[in-house]
Amino acid sequence: QPVGTGTILSRIWNKPSITITGIDATSVAAASNTLAPEISVVISARVAPGQGAREAYEAIEAHLRAHAPFGAELTFADVDCGNAFLVDTSGWAVGDAREALAEGYGVEPVDIGVGGSIPFIADLVETFPGAQILVTGVEDPHTRAHSPNESLHVDTFRRAAISEALLLAKVATRTK
């Protein structure tokens, strides 16, 4: 049963989320009925657009400290905060991309939001506030993105390459 509120689609791109991406603890092979003296955990938190990354981190740290089991002592290190970004889809660049995708794939594109927390893009927008930002990725239902056996259907990749070439051609001919 999923935790949280809202539709699954809204949760995967415009709401905050927390994921444990790594744990160093006693292995199953070495398990015993004793307490481990130290366990390390890597937590990844996606910050939702409009939410400050530093404030989100402070809330997570305060929550974990308030709920540390059995008097565990917590240490936080290697904290890297990056703000979220929400793309403005009203500019000409998105319009050109939609046209190129329609040409390249032979069907009208459908906008979806996925991700929402690529920190360097928020930094880019802050440095270049007038820039139009468009972040794209190519996946099909069997891509298994970011997994060891990630793949992409050859025809999907071909259509993506054609669409990108068409988009670059459109952008190259723009006068403003």
53, 81 contact by CB (below 8 A): yes
- Burial class, 172, CB count within 10 angstroms (exposed 0-12 / middle 13-18 / buried 19+): exposed
The tens place of each residue's pLDDT in the chain, 176 residues long, gives 777 788 876 776 677 888 898 999 999 999 999 988 899 999 988 888 788 899 999 999 999 999 998 889 999 999 988 888 877 888 899 999 999 999 999 999 987 766 556 778 888 888 998 888 888 878 877 888 878 899 999 999 999 999 999 999 999 998 77
pLDDT for the residue 104: 97
Question: What gap in Å lies between CA 139 and CA 45, rounded to an integer?
Answer: 23
Rg (CA), the chain: 21
Spatial separation of the C-alpha atoms in residues 22 and 41, rounded to whole Å: 6
Query: How many angstroms separate the CA atoms of 104 and 136, rounded?
Result: 14
Domain boundaries, the chain: 8-71, 92-172
Provide the whole-model pTM. Answer: 0.69
